[in-house]
Structures are given as C-alpha cells and as structure tokens.
Amino acid sequence: MDHLPIRLTETVKKGGCAAKLPAGQLRQVLQNLAIPKPEALAVGSETMDDACLWDLGDGRYMIQTLDFFTPIVDDARSFGAIAAANALSDVYAMGGEPKVALTILAFPTAHLPLELLEPLMEGALERITAAGACLGGGHSIDDETLKLGFSVTGFVKKEDAWTNAGAKVGDALILTKALGTGTLMSALKSKKATPEWIDAAIASMTQLNQVRDLLGSYRVHAATDITGFGLAGHCVQICRASQLKAQITTRSLPLLPGALECLEQNILNKAHHSNAAYVAENVVYHDIPIPLKWLTVDPQTSGGLLLCVPKESAEAVVQLLQKRFPMTARIGFLMAGDASIEFV
C-alpha cells in the first residue's frame, strides 16, 4: 500500500457507492421524464438495469455503462482498482465482456498532490487490463473532492444477454460475494475497523465479476450486481422487472469479516437509511435480528453478482462459482407474486 500522509476517506463525507443518490428519489425523477426510446435501444433506464443495451443489428448488443464515486479507502492504488472493478461489473452483470474504458476524474489540486494520480491510475489500469479491456482515454476536471470512475463499453450476443426482467418462477438466487462493505467502510472512516477487516473487504471489492466462463452451458435467466442500493434494493429491481416475489434466507447471506460486528455496533451511514426507505413497501422481515436487517440494505461497493438460475442447476452453478468466488451462496428463490421480498 502507499504510505502517504493523507487519508483519502477523510477528504470526503461519503465514500464509494454509499454516495449514490437515494434510490427512491432517483426512480421517481426518472419516471417523470419523457425519455425517448429508439428501436435499437433494447434496454434503457426503465427497468433500472445495470447498463443499457444497444442492438447492433448483427446479433450482438453493445453494452454501455458508467460509474464513478468518491474514495472508499485510504490507499490510492486500491481506490483506483476498486473504482475500475466496480465500473466493469455493470458489463459483467449484463452477461457481456468489457472492451473499452474511459476515465472520469475529478481531482482537487488545491488539497491533494498530483503525484497521487500515478498509483490511482495504476490500480485502475491493472484491473481494466485484467478484464481484457483497454483504457481508451477519458476526461478530468479540477474539483473540490476526488472522484474517479469509468465509462465502459462491452459486447454480448443477444441470446446471452442478462437483464433484470428475465427471472422465472422457481429460479434460485445465487450471490457471488460476501456483504458488508458499507458498514466496514464506515468503520474505516471512523477508525473502528481492524486492518484485517479492511484488507478482506478490499480483496473482495477489487475482484472482477467475471463469471460467464465458469458457467459452461448453464443458463442464467436474470442478473444484477449488488452495489449502492444494497441486496434488498437491487433484488427488488429484479422482482419489479420480472413481476415476481423473492424469498431470501437471511442467515444464508455470506458476510465479510467484521461486517456483523460493525452492524451490531450500529455503524451505519446515510445510505443504510435511504435504502431501507426505498424498499420499505416491498420487504417483509420475519423474526430477523436488527443487525441482519441492516445487512440487507448495506450499500455495497463493487459487490457480487445476484444470479437467477433454474433451480435444477443451482447446486452445480454454486460449486462452479466457488472455484473463483469462494463466498458464493444460494440465498433464496423466486416465486409467483407481487414485486416484493420476504426475508426469513
């Protein structure tokens, strides 16, 4: 890690995907906009998917996404790697492969040394290259707070694309990464986290969500990545788009080291509360301890993929995914019903 006399998390009020606008307010604004939808735009903002899909007319979709945020960790190289992995994840969540990334950078030259840019971008570039993509350029501005992200373009065969809207009754819900980055990063900011907890969280956040090559011929009906709106928020979006109901076994949820301890100490941030408000009308909890309730709305940064797969192949898929994502767990299933979640 870089040993600089600057804690990046102390330069911002909110870090990572916890800095997102509240999901409920964002959804309301988008609903009020008359957004034109050309025929070639197969998936836009209407289903709150992770990226848009543009029909290229040759049997492929172009996947387009962007993501940026403020520092979530103190180390510049790690922050760059997390920002890149998080942006690339949207392409993986649509079933595709990323090819080109463009940098989005706001840098406070009055507060931070420009030398910080080298490890920042080295961390990002390593993840982009590992994904088989290239850094094609970007744009930077001088701003009051550091922000880094990427616009990413990828491609997928039309028959292989994953969206929020494809889930089917009986599908198993499979989560590929452990939860808890929101509370852990809040603990880091307030100096209540151990180095071991933060190292484990960084390792998770910098891991690329490459899963398709592991799945062979197994089908995925729907998918999303779990980021700032938390597990409940992103699962609700699948339920709405697919017009189904989910049941999730809360004690089967994988946790990052230290996450439960932090939640038991009520180490929360604003996004925990806005996420809880967003899903309040769509979530029922059955005798769930309060810390685990907060876990379901914990704002993830570069979290795992939530996959909806046929129940008959669920165990095989979990075993395949665990080769690369050891915390992969089957956490629930989908059934007929309204767009809601039962946590049991």
Q: Which residues participate in catalysis according to the annotation?
A: 17
3 state SS of 19: helix
3 state SS of 181: helix
Q: What is the DSSP letter of 1?
A: -
- Cβ(112)–Cβ(85) under 8 Å? no
- Cβ(238)–Cβ(307) under 8 Å? no
> What is the rounded radius of gyration, in angstroms, for the C-alpha atoms of the chain?
19
- Cβ(126)–Cβ(165) under 8 Å? no
- What percentage of the chain's residues is helix, strand, coil (to nearest 5)? 40, 25, 35
Report the alpha-carbon distance of residue 4 to residue 71 in Å, rounded. Answer: 15
- Cβ(150)–Cβ(103) under 8 Å? yes
| Tokens 């996004």 sit on residue | 271
Report the alpha-carbon distance of residue 113 to residue 270 in Å, rounded. Answer: 29
Q: What is the DSSP letter of 294?
A: H
Report the alpha-carbon distance of residue 5 to residue 26 in Å, rounded. Answer: 37
The letter for the amino acid at 344 is V
Q: Can you list the alpha helix ranges (DSSP code H) found in the chain?
A: 23-32, 76-93, 117-130, 181-189, 195-206, 212-215, 230-242, 259-264, 270-279, 290-296, 314-321
Report the alpha-carbon distance of residue 89 to residue 207 in Å, rounded. Answer: 10
